[in-house]
């Protein structure tokens, strides 16, 4: 019973040490302010005509505005962005290639009320003139001419358009024609159109064309002085002598491609440089009234709002000390938390609407390695999360038993007694279960031991009896000698006396 008690005592001591370690090593996540980002003021709700829009920074990929960017919409003449980039890539020297207009190319365009650059059957402008006609006055006649020259038919060229869309990751886009004339199966999304436009922005010739306000073709049969073309986007923007009643001031506007159909309404893809931010915008399905460039007006509102309220900023830099966190289970009980990397984002110009929100535990637990991730710093513009960066431990911290014990005492003093109580209760229950097991388990019967003592005693008595016989007959203990005796006949016999 004494040995059994000592064993239980040793087990209890081991479990108690484990309890100290468990209580000392506990890590409790920080309880963030329940308001948190939800308490940040929202961005101003802009008054826009378009139902869908998608605004990004082309340098950083930062999404600034997003409404319905993955919803399907009809692109209208934004389709011609795809037509023109394919023509640029498929015709190596477009300035020296003639493409004659034929009646087959013009078929159905007048009946569909499609925009046309104005070439007539028999005219032989260059491929470059066709590309300008495709993008500036949004000429469906030029779209058709390019398609026939490259692929032999519009249908074959449309297959190239869909293949290109797939290559660019435009997963929710399908083209039916080269110009954007309405078809229920001719659709895209703002995000997909942005992928296409970003791709086109890398092509110098494409950017040269869409930033050109006016272009005149080479002389052709019906236009001996060349066919003049006007950019249907730029003619509404930053005009000193506007041709139309609608003129919008958008400082830094670079270029774009607009479109309109009854079903798709007004659409636009464009880009601008705003306060050092290179922005690109797709907005679609906007309408105010007939012949009113609703999509261009929305672009003006968006670009100018960001010019007034946003700028390129660096809110945190690599190595910035964010603060100090307590460290458990070590004698060195604090450690500095630093920013992992510099972050540059498009953010509100005023500090009031820039928010840095740290997601960190209330304490860290040793051991800690230098540079180990401690948490995340989230960066908000108004109530919209714009980016994040890791927060790291500046210096290492080693684990120590004394530190763990001090942490336990601190937890006890801070009201965390329930943890230790639960652990001790578990130990007590374990010991009680062991005692009950010892008491209640069935007792095994022991086999009777062999009676070796009686046999041993008999052996000793037999030995003593033999010794007594040897003492009473000493001669018997000596070797018996043989004697010889001669008998009759001369023979000799041997015998023992």
Quote the CA–CA distance of 219 and 226 in Å, as a whole number.
Answer: 4
More confident residue, 495 or 106: 106
Rounded to an integer, the average pLDDT of 67-92 is 97
**Are 328 and 23 a contacting pair, CB within 8 Å?**
no
pTM of the model: 0.76
Angle at the Cα of 166 from the Cα atoms of 163 and 168, rounded to 5 degrees: 115
Q: What CATH superfamily classification does 50-310 receive?
A: DD-peptidase/beta-lactamase superfamily (3.40.710.10)
Measure the CA–CA gap between 231 and 255, rounded to whole angstroms.
9
Q: What is the pLDDT of residues 427-463, one digit of tens each?
A: 777 777 777 767 776 655 555 555 555 555 566 666 6
Report pLDDT digits (tens) over 358-387.
Answer: 999 988 988 999 999 999 999 999 999 999
Q: Where are the domains of the chain?
A: 2-22+401-440, 28-42+314-393, 50-310, 452-495
Average pLDDT over residues 157-167: 98
The residue-averaged pLDDT of 301-312 equals 97
Instruction: Quote the CA–CA distance of 423 and 418 in Å, as a whole number.
Output: 9
What are the pLDDT digits (tens) for 6-39?
A: 555 555 555 555 554 444 444 443 344 556 788 8
Check pLDDT > 70 for residue 472: no
Is residue 131 within 8 Å of residue 141, measured between CB atoms? no
What whole-number distance in Å separates Cα of residue 185 and Cα of residue 74? 9
Q: What's the CATH architecture for 28-42+314-393?
A: Sandwich (2.60)
Residue 365's nearest CA partner among 401, 330, 324 is: 330
The model's pLDDT over 272-282, given as tens digits with 9 standing for 90+, comes to 999 999 999 99
On the question of pLDDT at 198 being above 90, the answer is yes
Instruction: Give the position of tokens 């319905």.
Output: 68
């Amino acid at each position: 019973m004494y040995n059994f008690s000592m064993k239980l005592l040793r087990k209890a001591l081991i479990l108690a040490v484990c309890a100290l370690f468990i209580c000392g090593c506990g890590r409790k996540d920080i309880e963030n302010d329940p308001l948190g980002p939800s308490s940040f003021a929202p961005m101003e709700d802009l008054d826009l005509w378009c139902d869908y829009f998608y605004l990004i920074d082309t340098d950083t990929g930062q999404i600034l505005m997003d409404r319905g960017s993955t919803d399907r919409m009809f692109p209208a003449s934004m389709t011609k962005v795809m037509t023109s980039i394919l023509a640029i890539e498929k015709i190596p020297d477009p300035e020296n290639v003639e493409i004659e207009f034929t009646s087959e190319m013009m078929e159905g365009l007048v009946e569909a009320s499609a925009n046309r650059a104005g070439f007539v059957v028999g005219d032989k402008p260059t491929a470059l003139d066709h590309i300008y006609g495709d993008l500036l006055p949004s000429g469906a006649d030029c779209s058709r001419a390019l398609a026939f020259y490259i692929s032999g038919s519009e249908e074959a060229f449309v297959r190239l358009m869909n293949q290109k869309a797939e290559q660019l990751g435009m997963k929710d886009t399908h083209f039916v024609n080269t110009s954007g004339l309405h078809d229920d199966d001719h659709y895209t999304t703002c995000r997909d159109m942005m992928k296409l436009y970003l791709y086109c922005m890398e092509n110098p010739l494409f950017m040269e064309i869409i930033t050109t306000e006016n272009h005149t073709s080479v002389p052709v049969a019906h236009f001996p002085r060349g066919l003049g073309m006007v950019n249907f986007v730029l003619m509404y923007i930053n005009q000193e002598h506007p041709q139309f009643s609608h003129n919008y001031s958008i400082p830094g506007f670079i270029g774009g491609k607009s479109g309109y159909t009854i079903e798709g309404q007004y659409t636009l893809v464009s880009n601008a440089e705003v306060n050092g931010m290179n922005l690109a915008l797709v907005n679609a399905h906007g309408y105010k009234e007939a012949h009113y460039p609703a999509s261009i007006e929305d672009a003006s509102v968006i670009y100018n709002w960001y010019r007034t309220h946003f700028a390129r900023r660096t809110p945190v830099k690599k190595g910035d000390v964010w603060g100090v966190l307590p460290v458990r289970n070590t004698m060195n009980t604090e450690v500095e938390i630093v920013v992992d990397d510099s972050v540059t984002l498009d953010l509100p110009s005023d500090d009031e609407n820039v928010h840095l929100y740290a997601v960190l535990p209330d304490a860290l637990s040793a051991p800690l390695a230098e540079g180990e991730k401690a948490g995340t710093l989230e960066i908000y513009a108004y109530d919209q999360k714009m980016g994040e960066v890791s927060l790291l431990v500046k210096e290492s911290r080693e684990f120590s038993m004394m530190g763990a014990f001090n942490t336990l005492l601190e937890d006890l003093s801070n009201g965390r007694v329930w943890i230790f109580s639960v652990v001790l209760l578990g130990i007590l229950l374990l010991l009680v279960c062991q005692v009950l097991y010892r008491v209640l388990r069935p007792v095994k019967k022991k086999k009777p031991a062999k009676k070796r003592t009686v046999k041993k005693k008999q052996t000793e008595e037999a030995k003593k009896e033999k010794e007594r016989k040897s003492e009473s007959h000493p001669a018997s203990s000596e070797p018996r000698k043989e004697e010889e005796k001669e008998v009759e006949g001369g023979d000799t016999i041997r015998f023992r006396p």
